[in-house]
A = this chain, B = another copy of it.
């Protein structure tokens, strides 16, 4: 399973309708959740952004640079915004705006019966998101603006310096190689989505980061790759790892905990024995 970029996928009327004025008028001043930062590069390590709300039309105004904005700044004169993806606690914005949803025609290769969510993505120019993986298969459908997407295969996770599902390497183009020496050795896919109908398939577990050039509007569609019962029922949008993986990582944490009573040299010896044990499970051509 590998990423695939498709061009000229018919996405329906959104391709020509969704300019800032149309979006603004369609939704109006409904309050939405956003991320805001005074830095273009959103940084989950140092939390250089805030969770806030804005009226939707005000968000569009600020993101698109359409006229002067009316409200106060949250942080500074120059700010960067993203519409926040829905999580478990948030209503599905897209579903509540049937008008917008009717404008969007989902690519026909998506298995509808496995669909989990369809999300509107809106960002101001220059926004750069961190690298992370999802447990869902995803297509990212570009509607307005242009973005570069950088991807890394699941097998190179050890070179990405992860914290949970996110890479600590925030600048994928100029990584700090003293701090992250293995990063440049990770295999890298890149593509540019710049026209309505540019559609990127991101397989589950592939790491991805977006570098947006312009005010951007996109739709992402996420669907289950695994059987329904392999995901946590209490996590309807499947943000979490499959249950078997969560259980495995919990057991591993317990195993690591056990070794804490041993002296340093014993602990390190058995850490390595654990790594050897897991390595035996990997294909022979891959030496960790």
Residues of chain A having any CB pair with chain B under 8 Å: 1, 154-155, 157-158, 162, 182, 204-205, 226, 230, 241-242, 244-245, 247-249, 251-256, 258-259, 261-263, 265-279, 281-283, 287-288
Contact = CB atoms under 8 A, between A and B. Distances in A.
Contacts of A265: 1, 154, 205
5 contacts: A157-B276, A158-B276, A245-B259, A245-B262, A249-B277
B155 A272 contact: yes
Given A244-B258, A245-B259, A254-B251, A269 B158 contact: no
A265 B155 CA distance: 9
A266 B242 contact: yes
Contacts of A158: 272, 275-276, 279
Contact of A266 (B205, B258, B269): B205
A271 B282 contact: yes
A252 to B, nearest CB: 5
B276 A271 contact: no
Contacts of A182: 287
B270 A245 contact: yes
A224 to B, nearest CB: 13
Contacts of A261: 230, 244
A244 B256 contact: no
Contact of A155 (B155, B269, B283): B269
Given A252-B255, A256-B281, 11 more contacts: A158-B275, A158-B279, A230-B261, A244-B262, A248-B259, A249-B274, A252-B277, A268-B281, A275-B279, A275-B288, A288-B288
Nearest to A270: B245
Contacts of A281: 256, 267-268, 271
A256 B251 CA distance: 9
